[in-house]
Structure formats: C-alpha cells, structure tokens
Structure 1
Amino acid sequence: MSLSKKLSDILSQINDTTTKLGDLRRIAGDIKKDHEMALELWSKGIYLARQLAILIMDKKLLSQEVIDSLDQDIQQHPQEESLQLIDWLMANQLSKDKKMIALMESWQNSPSKLQRRIFWYYQGRQRWVGQTPPANSEKLLSSIEDTIEKEQPEVQWAMNFAAAQIGIFQPEYRSRCIALGENTGLYKDEIVGKNCTPNYIPEYIAIQVAKIKK
C-alpha cells in the first residue's frame, strides 16, 4: 500500500468529536514506529493527527533542531492544544531516551516558553512517578522562588507543579514549598472540579501527602 493511501486510511479513523486518546494509542499500536508516517501526519496541521504522529515518531531521529521546528508548529495551535501537544511529546518521546532527557535538562533558560515548561514539568514528573528525588531540589526551589512570578503562565504552571512534587515527596522541603505557594498565591482562587486536585500548593501538598499516608 502506498504511503498516501496509508495516510488516507489513518486519517479516516480520526474524528475530532469522537476519537479519544485511547483510540489514538490503539491506532499507533497497529502502525508501530513509523517516522516517515509521523512526519506526514504532522504536516497536516491537525491536532489529533499530530498527537498520533508523536506516538509513532522514532525518538532516535529527534534532535534540538527537529524539536525547535515541532515547537514552532505547536505554538500555532490554540493554547489548550499547544500545551497538550508539548506535554504529550515530553511524556511519550522525550522522557524515553537518555539523549532527549539531557536535552530537556538544558532547557531551563530556553528562549522557548514551551521548552522551559517541559524542563520544569519533567523535574516535577521525576518525583511524581515515584523515582528517588534527584539531588537538585535545593537549586530548583531557589530558582522557582526567584523567577516564578516573572514567568509566562505556561511555565508558571510547570514550576508550580515541580515545587508541589518536591514538597510532597521530600518532607525536608515541605514547609518551604507551602510558604512559596502562600507567598505567590498562584491558583489560590482557582475553581477545580469534583475529585480534582487543586494547583494551589498548600492544598495540593496536603491532599497528596494524606493520600500517601493512607
């Protein structure tokens, strides 16, 4: 089957109103790794097609230059889609490869707000997934305290997440993280849905620590 026919068949399985993330994972499982197809899907500029493309990319073919190009494309989407795509790229590709992890860890001061977001999201995620916390928590917290209020909202969220995870999993920093949340007041007045964890750090930490103790 030609590439164009395969592409057409794949696109016919994607529908903005009914396709779920689980459906995309099923489709990706059928395709397996196919970087050429991923680039074809990506070139369509369609949100769901780009989510699927991320799942079937070959991480060994990613580089800073390629990621910069993907980043620029992602920033053309509405904000909610943009954040979903960059976070999806981190979770499904960048965090799966040592070379990509090294790249992410170099993005703290990247000119790209999305790459700065991923730097902080990855730092928080390392703790959230149950790994032994890296030895950089003191340095991270100092940076968050100095810069979070000056950052772009997309990056603020990830810095806030990282601070919350440090406070949850490293008791020696808990009071400092709670104080950070109280001082910035970020997300204090945010309305969250039932059974959702608030982003306001003092509440976030209290809820998650209580869950762990159970």
Structure 2
Amino acid sequence: MTETTVAQVMAELAGLEDPKMRAVNEKHGDDHGVNLGKLRAIAKRLKSQQDLARGLWRTDDTAARLLALLICRPKAFERDELDTMLRESRTPKVHDWLVNYVVKKNPHGEELRLAWFADPDPVVASAGWALTTERVAKKPEGLDLPSLLDLIEARMKDAPDRLQWAMNHCLAQIGIEHPEHRARAIAIGERLEVLKDYPTPPNCTSPFAPLWIGEMVRRQDEKR
C-alpha cells in the first residue's frame, strides 16, 4: 500500500467541494463545502495516520482539519500541541470536533480543561466549559457545582455567543444530572432567559435550560 500524501488528500477534498453546501455551512461560521458523510468515508479508508493528520492540520483548510481530527491518534498529542490547535480552531465545527474527538480522549484533557476554563479568550473558554460539562455528566467528583452555578448566574447573560452556549449547556447538565441543584438551575435559566426564544424545530428539545432540563428529566423518569 502506497503512502497517501497531503497533496493527494487535498485534491480529493477539492473534488468533493459543493458550493451549495459551502453556502449553508458559512451561515453557521464553517468555511467548507464537503459533505461530512463523504469526509467520514475518506477517514474510514485512510484509518489512523498521525503524521498525515498533522500534515492536513497544517494546511489551515477547514475540511482538511476535520479529516485530520478523524484520522489522528488522540492520545499522541502533547498538551502544548493541543493548546495551540485549539487556539487555531476558529470555526465552530473544527473547534467542536477537536474538543469532543481528541481532547476528551487525551491524557492532558483535565489539565487543559482547567487552563481553558479561565482563559480570557471566550472561544478558548468555551472549550473549558464544554469539558466541564462532560465532567458534570460523567465524573462530577471534585467539581464545585454551586460555584459553577454562581459563575453561570453572574456571567452567562452577557457572554459572547459561543461561550454563552457552552455555559448554558453546563447549566442544563447540572439540572438534569444533579437533582439537589435542579431547582436552582431552573431558576437561573428562567431569570436570565438565555436562548428562551431560540428557534427549535418540531420534535427537537429547546436549548432554553428550564425546558431542556424538564424534558430530559421526564425522559429519565419514563425509563425507570
């Protein structure tokens, strides 16, 4: 099997570029026009290739970076490398995939969570909040949930969009997973009204925290 080069992959991605898809993606801040299903099919064919992933990342092309995140080995990155990559990730999809597919599986994830959580850059801070939300749901031991609610209550209303969304997700997760804090989480959401009027398609759960919490708790109760 011959080694696949960055140039070969970039040519393949260029052939998959769809102007209509790019126009849709750009409305959400993502500057690429490659169907994600086709991108995942390429990743499945290439399998895990860390050197190729690093080469694709260096192109600064969004589709190439998304592919890089699918074929990389998450545990192979050093802490500072991931920190640099996050600060280079200015489109929402690359940012989200880096956090969810790579950082969460990396041994430096908790260290990065703490560093990013307090970062003055709101986009970087949103990654810290996303990792914190993961811990709220799966490994809450050691987290100070009342202090998290204090921060959300004080800062979420005026936070920039990406950070506000991440803080709101954390608020909802605290209310869903921790009954002892549920009433306060709902009260904070009702008072701040963040995402209260967010357009939600039929059969989808609203991101407005009080409704989100109520719906997820209802589903949990149904399973019992």
Same fold, TM exceeding 0.5? Answer: yes
User: 1:36 aligns to what?
Assistant: 51
TM-superposed deviation, 1:62? 2.8
User: 1:15 aligns to what?
Assistant: 17
In 1, Cα distance between equivalents of 2:110 and 2:44: 24
In 2, Cα distance between equivalents of 1:4 and 1:161: 36
In 1, Cα distance between equivalents of 2:65 and 2:59: 8
Gap regions ≥5 residues in structure 2: 22-32
User: 1:126 aligns to what?
Assistant: 135
TM-superposed deviation, 1:165? 0.5
Does the CA contact (< 8 Å) of 1:94 and 1:104 recur in 2?
no
Q: Deviations over 1:80-130 (max 9, x none)?
A: xx11211111111000022133212321111332221111112223345xx
For 1:134, what is the secondary structure of its paired residue?
coil
Aligned residues: 206
In 2, Cα distance between equivalents of 1:206 and 1:147: 23
Scaled by the length of structure 2, the TM-score of the pair is 0.80
Does the CA contact (< 8 Å) of 1:14 and 1:48 recur in 2?
no
User: 1:196 aligns to what?
Assistant: 204
Deviates more, 1:41-50 or 1:149-158: 41-50
Q: How does 1:7-86 map to 2 (within 5 A)?
A: 7-8=9-10, 10-11=12-13, 14-16=16-18, 17=21, 19-75=34-90, 82-86=91-95
Q: How does 1:148-159 map to 2 (within 5 A)?
A: 148-159=156-167
Gap regions ≥5 residues in structure 1: 76-81
Scaled by the length of structure 1, the TM-score of the pair is 0.83
How many percent identity over aligned positions?
29
User: 1:95 aligns to what?
Assistant: 104
In 2, Cα distance between equivalents of 1:99 and 1:132: 16
Does the CA contact (< 8 Å) of 1:7 and 1:37 recur in 2?
no
